Structure 1
Amino acid sequence: MQVLLVGGGGREHALAWALSGSGLLGKLWVAPGNAGIAEIAECVAIGAEDVPALVAFAKERAVDLVVVGPEAPLTLGLADACAEAGLRCFGPSAAAARLEGSKAFTREVTTAAGVPGAEWARFTSADEARAYVRRKGAPIVVKADGLAAGKGVVVAATLAEAERAIAEIMEDRVHGAAGAEILVEECLVGQEVSFFALCDGTTALPMAAAQDHKRVGDGDTGPNTGGMGAYSPPPAFTPAIEAEVMERIIRPTLAEMARRGTPFRGVLFAGLMLTESGPRLIEFNVRFGDPECQVLMLRLQSDLLAALLAACDGELDRFALRWSKEAAMVVVMAAQGYPGAYRKGSVIEGLEQAAQVPGAQVFHAGTARDAQGNLVATGGRVLGVSASGATLRKARDAAYAAVDAIRWPEGFCRRDIGWRALD
């Protein structure tokens, strides 16, 4: 089969790595890809949000399956455009992708479906939002309604923080049009877990769970980021909890989306809080997480391409996924200054030595080759240094051994990924 994978981050490198091991794969293109992806697939200079160019390329090359990595092309209607062109696409329609594109839409859907979540209210007026948080008190959560690259959520410990978040999102528009409307939500307490399910519109097949680390600094300090590391499986996410999540959160949402005439096909990513009263939904995403995808792909033993095809063709009720019992961890190496301003173009060395660490696998997130052939950083999150091991502690030791083999003075990482489980 000929496959076009859309995206150029760490998630897409992990997906390309897993797809390249499929016995069904003939040719893999990735648009736009990155320096690491270029080692295992052919990169195409088309932006992930250039829907017409992506569809034209897929038609010209007779692509059998388009796999969409990031959320933006999904909300822009790439899956719809593929369907109109007669192309098979793994990913939801634009209407179904509103589960990530609009947090208010998600709360409408999940409220109708009876999904347990946080108490919430939506606002288009900053003054009304401020009045609401003063009535409710802190801690409280303020969210930009639209896509904000994983940075549009503020967990405010004080009223002053909440009011500052409202001003920055709605008045200063730090996230652009995504902040035209906000949600203010109850602050749930517990352990946060990412859970993934493959969906074909009617059937949901559980995948696996991971635990992400959003804050930039050790001990979960500093501002939120797109993710500084993750591990799988999280010990707190038991088989009983998985069964409850499927029964009370995933399947009711899938049924409600079908009832609305917008069936969800793709991977449904549930951000959960494991509270004392059971798992509750924080938010949905409509694609694999980044960096969670990296650890999921390390643990997946089934043929990824076959699984994606089953989701596209409505055949998940006849499919099963196999997972390694080993643990996996990814440590994100980012450019100094991230998630604020950071410099691009610094040279990275030592990846050959990192790859020699038993169990290690380095996924590229923001890299390119310069004119001299040097590997250089082009983004905020640059490398996903990953490893698997018989235990989480062994996976962690291997991941950090690989990190320590990399020579990149302009980069940094957290040194405590996995602390919840290991401590």
Structure 2
Amino acid sequence: MKVLIVGSGGREHAIAWRVSQSPLVEKIFCAPGNGGTEKENKCENIKIEKINELAEFAKKEEIKLTIVGPEAPLVDGIVDAFKENNLKIFGPSKKAAALEGSKIVAKDFMKKYGIKSAEYAVFYEREKALTYIEHCSYPTVIKADGLAAGKGVIICQNKKEAEEAINSFMLQDIFNGAGLKIVIEEFLEGVEASILSITDGNTIIPFISSKDHKQIFDGDKGPNTGGMGVIAPNPYCSEEVLNSFEKDILEPTLKGIKEEKMDYVGTIFFGLMITKKGVYLLEYNVRMGDPETQAVLSLMESDYAEIMLKALDNTLEECEIKWKQGSACCVTAVSEGYPGKYKKGLKITDMDKVENKIFIAGAQIKEEKLLTSGGRVLSVVSVGDSLEEAREKAYRDIEKVSFQGMYYRKDIGKIKSI
């Protein structure tokens, strides 16, 4: 069959790489793709991004499976548009995608269905938010309601920081409308975990757990990024943690999806916080995480394309997903200045010296050279029998790659006690 993958990041490169290994798949179109997907087996990049044009292309090429990588097209209703054209597409409906598209919708859903999560308050007016922070406890968490490319969450240590966050969201409008409504949330202390899952609306099957490292600097310092690296499985996800996740979060989420008649066939990503008081849900994402996808799919043994087709056929209940033993470590290289301003068009060299898999995120091929085009440029992913082995292999490889101003964290996968 022919497959269409929508998106242009490292996540989409990893999905294309994994799906290309399926004997069911003969051709993959990546829209628009990047310098990594351009060279991947069975793949071809196409310069189409508008939803109606993608649907027309899928009809013309007789695409049997469309996979949506990023959240924005899902929130914009790409799944509804494809279904109106009788096209098979893997992803939630526009209504279901609001679980990521609006923090307010997500928090209200969690509250309604008794899902274990932090206490919160919602604000539509800046003055009311500023009054609230006069008396709330610190640290506190301020979240933009809408999509903010993984950067719309600020942990504020005091009233001054909270005031600055509220003003930047609601007055300066740094997220172009996404922060005009906000959630102020109880701060939870602990260790984060990412659990990517697949659902057909009747069954949710969790994937192997992972741990993202969001902040730019070693020791989890500095501003949040889209993700600086990942390990899988997450060493903090004990059997007790996973049982608690299933009972307090996964099961009531599935109940809510059914009762709200959400038309949810796709990925559901649970962002968790493991605390001394238990396991809490921080957020939903309605697509695969980036860079979690790169690590998690590197450990998947089952045919990912076949699993997605089973979800679309509503037969996930009979599906068992197989995983490799061992661990994966993903280290992300970013442009100097990221997550702020950074240069583009820098030549990437010595990738041929790398022994493990490189997933391209922000780079394009021009005149047969691979040039940087984004903040997160590439990730090296290695698999080992142990986390230590996977870390060692990933760092040995990333040291070989080079572009001007390249930066990466040196502590991805270092374990500390809760």
| TM-score when normalising by structure 2 | 0.98
SS at match of 1:97: helix
Which residue in the other structure is 2:277 paired with?
277
Query: Once the 2 structures are TM-superposed, how far is the Cα of residue 213 of structure 1 from its aligned partner?
Result: 0.6
Contact 1:201-1:264 within 8 A present in 2 as well: yes
Q: Which AA in structure 2 matches 1:393?
A: E
Structure-1 residue corresponding to 2:87: 87
The amino acid across from 1:43 in the alignment is N
| Structure 1 counterpart of 2:97, one-letter code | A
Partner SS, residue 306 of structure 2: helix
* CA apart distance, 1:420: 2.3
Asked if the contact 1:369/1:376 (under 8 Å) is kept, the reply is yes
How far does residue 180 in structure 1 lie from its aligned partner after superposition?
A: 1.5
Distance of 1:409 and 1:27 partners within structure 2: 35
Q: Aligned pair 1:361/2:363, yes or no?
A: no
CA deviations 1:139-182 (Å, max 9, x no partner) are 00000000000000001112111111000001100011101200
Q: Partner of 1:256: helix, strand, or coil?
A: helix
Residue 422 of structure 1 and its aligned partner are, at CA, apart by 10
Unaligned runs of 5+ residues in structure 1 are none
Matched, 1:159 2:159: yes
Matched residue, 1:324: 324
Is 1:13 the counterpart of 2:18 in the alignment?
A: no
2:374 matches 1:379:
yes
For 1:327 and 1:420, locate their aligned partners in 2 and report how far apart those are by CA, in whole Å.
14
SS at match of 1:416: coil
What residue identity is the alignment partner of 1:271?
Answer: G
Matched with 1:43 is 45
Q: Percent identity over the alignment?
A: 40
Question: Helix, strand or coil for the counterpart of 2:131?
Answer: helix
Tell me the equivalent position of 1:413. Answer: 408
User: Number of aligned pairs?
Assistant: 416
Is residue 136 of structure 1 aligned with residue 136 of structure 2?
Answer: yes
- Letter of the aligned partner of 1:93 in structure 2? S
Aligned to 1:300: 300
Over 3 Å counting, the alpha-carbon distance change for 1:422 and 1:143 in structure 2 is closer
Distance 2:162 2:322 in 1: 43
Aligned to 1:312: 312
Out of 395, 399, 420, the residue aligned to residue 394 of structure 2 is 399
Amino acid corresponding to residue 94 of structure 1 in structure 2: K
Alignment of 1:192-207 (within 5 A): 192-207=192-207
Query: Which residue identity does 2:172 align to in structure 1?
Result: D
Q: Distance in 2 between matches of 1:157 and 1:385?
A: 34
Cα displacement string for residues 314-372 of structure 1 (whole angstroms, at most 9, x for unaligned residues)? 11101010111110011110010100000100000010001xx2xx110000111123x
**8 A Cα contact 1:92 1:266, kept in partner:** yes
Q: Are the counterparts in 2 of residues 214 and 220 from structure 1 also a CA contact under 8 Å? A: yes
Q: Which runs of 4+ in 1 moved over 4 A?
A: none
Asked whether the equivalents of residues 235 and 421 of structure 1 are also in contact (C-alpha less than 8 Å), the reply is no
TM-score, length-scaled by structure 1: 0.97
Distance 2:32 2:72 in 1: 14
Q: Secondary structure at the match of 1:301?
A: coil
Say what the alpha-carbon RMSD is for the aligned residues.
1.2
Secondary structure, in 3 states, of the residue corresponding to 1:293?
helix
For the 8 Å contact 1:115–1:281, the answer to whether it is kept is yes
Q: Per-residue CA shift, 1:240-285, capped at 9, x if unaligned?
A: 3223212221221122122122132211101100011211010100
Task: Give distance in 2, aligned partners of 1:132 and 1:191.
Answer: 27
| SS of alignment partner, residue 251 of structure 2 | helix
In the alignment, the residues of structure 2 paired with residue 254 and residue 80 of structure 1 have an alpha-carbon distance, to the nearest angstrom, of 21
Cα displacement string for residues 4-35 of structure 1 (whole angstroms, at most 9, x for unaligned residues)? 01111000010011001111112111100011
Q: In 1, Cα distance between the equivalents of 2:63 and 2:341?
A: 38
C-alpha distance in 2, partners of 1:416/1:12? 25
Shift of 1:60: 0.6
Question: Structure 2: where are the runs of 5+ without partners?
Answer: none
Q: How does 1:250-269 map to 2 (within 5 A)?
A: 250-269=250-269
Q: Which residue is equivalent to 2:25?
A: 25
User: 1:422 and 1:192 mapped to 2: Cα distance?
Assistant: 13
